[in-house]
């Protein structure tokens, strides 16, 4: 799986559906699963346009008096498929992670829980998310891939999760920028990658995504 976090880059805000359209085209060409996570304001339009949309964040609350929150039920109503949880730019307490995963699964949606290191990855895998995405925060947006600069982070994460909860699949992120980064990540035992800036800021995002998908 390739998970594209569009964050709130200027390019994303100016043309939010452009990247979903690219993903749809590349999926049609390759059959590789590509998930797109647009900003919350564009979830409805994106989900109407492309089938595999995730939110960038979900709150652990049930529907109720929670101003400004995004409950899992809202995401289900918008027909998105899942959400990132605990991204390094949107960290939440562990009890909230657990509750958010439970709320998402209660309404039939997928979860990708982000962690900063192998130990945290293994701990959070006990909450039964569909995926753990390990992302050393110092490499996010750096252009230096964790799969090439810190391969031991990935191999240890995969090993610990296999021991702790082998049902959880592993993604890796932080600095993923080339097809070689993706190839290395898969060789180290992951099920895919999570990336953001390298895709959104690419001169030719479709060609870039085609190259990544070709590895699978």
Spot the catalytic one: 57, 87, 116, 120. Answer: 87
> What is the SS3 assignment for 79?
coil
**Is residue 87 flagged as an active site residue?**
yes
Give the other-Cβ count within 10 Å of 23's Cβ: 28
**Is residue 66 flagged as an active site residue?**
no
Distances (CA, A) of 67 to 55, 64, 71, 85, 98: 18, 9, 11, 19, 21
Spot the catalytic one: 57, 116, 120, 135. Answer: 135
8 A C-beta contact, residue 165 and residue 126: yes
Distances (CA, A) of 36 to 50, 105, 121, 141, 148: 9, 19, 22, 17, 24
Cα–Cα distance, 215 to 209 (Å, whole number): 10
Catalytic residue ranges: 87, 135
């Amino acid at each position: 799986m390739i998970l594209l976090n569009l964050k709130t880059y200027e390019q994303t805000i100016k043309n939010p559906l452009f990247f979903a359209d690219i993903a749809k085209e590349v999926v049609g060409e390759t059959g590789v699963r590509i998930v797109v996570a647009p900003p919350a304001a564009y979830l409805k339009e994106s989900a109407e346009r492309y089938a595999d949309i995730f939110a960038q964040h979900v709150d652990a609350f049930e529907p109720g008096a929670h101003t400004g929150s995004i409950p899992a039920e809202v995401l289900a109503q918008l027909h998105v498929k899942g959400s990132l949880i605990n991204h390094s730019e949107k960290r939440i307490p562990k009890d909230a992670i657990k509750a958010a995963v439970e709320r998402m699964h209660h309404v039939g949606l997928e979860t990708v829980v982000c962690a900063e290191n192998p130990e945290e990855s293994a701990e959070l895998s006990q909450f039964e998310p569909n995926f753990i995405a390990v992302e050393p925060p110092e490499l996010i947006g750096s252009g230096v891939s964790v799969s090439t600069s810190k391969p031991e982070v990935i191999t240890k994460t995969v090993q610990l999760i296999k021991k702790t909860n082998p049902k959880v699949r592993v993604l890796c992120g932080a600095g993923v920028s080339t097809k070689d980064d993706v190839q290395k990540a898969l060789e180290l035992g992951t099920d895919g990658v999570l990336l953001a800036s390298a895709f959104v800021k690419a001169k030719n995002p479709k060609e870039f995504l085609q190259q990544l998908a070709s590895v699978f």
